[in-house]
Homo-oligomer: A and B are copies of this chain.
Amino acid sequence: MFGNMKMYEPRNPKYKEYTEYKISLNEFMRSLGFVINEIQPGYTAGFLDFAKIHEQQNGWLHGGITAAILDMVEGFAAYSLVNDGQQVFTVDARVSYYNPGIAQKFYARGWVDKPGKRFHFCEGELYYINEAGEEITVAKGSSTMAVI
C-alpha cells in the first residue's frame, strides 16, 4: 500500500484468485523473474532480483524490462478490478525514465487511477530502495487498458 493508491470495491469477489490465475499463465513474467506478491482491488505490487539477463549495455536495468514490468503491474491491477471472465488488453502505454536503474533489487507497483466500463486508466512506478532507506523512482508509467 502507498499514498497514491485508491481504494475500490472489487467487481469480482474472487478478484484475487482470478488475477493470480492470469499471472500464472504469464510465461514472460516467469522467465524474467518478476514476482507479484500483493494484490488488492485495483492494485498490484512485486519485486525483481537483479540478474545478468536484465542488463542493458552499461550493466544497469534495461529500460525495456522497466517498461515490461510496468505493463505487468498496471495490467494486473486492471485485472483485479474487472468482472469474472473479462479480459484486459493494453491499448497505450507511456514510460518516463526518472533515474538509472542501478540496484540489486527493484520493486514495482501499479494501480488503477480511473476505472471505467470500457477502459481502466492505470499508473505505475518502478523503484529501488537506497542505502538511506528512501525510494528512488526509476520510472513512472501510465497506460490505457481496454476491458473487454
Per-residue CB proximity of A86-107 to B under 8 Å, as 1/0?
Answer: 0101111111111110000000
Chosen A-B contacts, 10 in total, with CB atoms closer than 8 Å, are A27-B55, A27-B62, A28-B54, A64-B67, A64-B69, A96-B121, A96-B142, A121-B140, A140-B142, A144-B144
A57 adjacent to chain B (CB < 8 Å): yes
Give the number of times this chain occurs in the complex, counting copies: 4
A37 adjacent to chain B (CB < 8 Å): no
Q: Which of A39-92 contact B (CB under 8 A)?
A: 52-59, 62-65, 67-69, 71-72, 75, 87, 89-92
Nearest B residue to A64, CB-CB = B68
Tell me which residues across on chain B come within 8 A of A92, comparing CB atoms.
Answer: 91-92, 94-97, 144
We find that the number of chain A residues with CB closer than 8 angstroms to chain B is 52
Q: How far is the CB of A29 from chain B (nearest CB, A)?
A: 8
Q: Flag if A142 contacts B27 (CB, 8 Å).
A: no
The one of B52, B96, B99 that contacts A144, using a Cβ cutoff of 8 Å: B96
Q: Complex: how many Å from CA A100 to CA B116?
A: 13
Tell me which residues across on chain B come within 8 A of A52, comparing CB atoms.
Answer: 27
**A113 with B140: in contact, given A53-B27, A63-B71 (CB under 8 Å)?**
yes
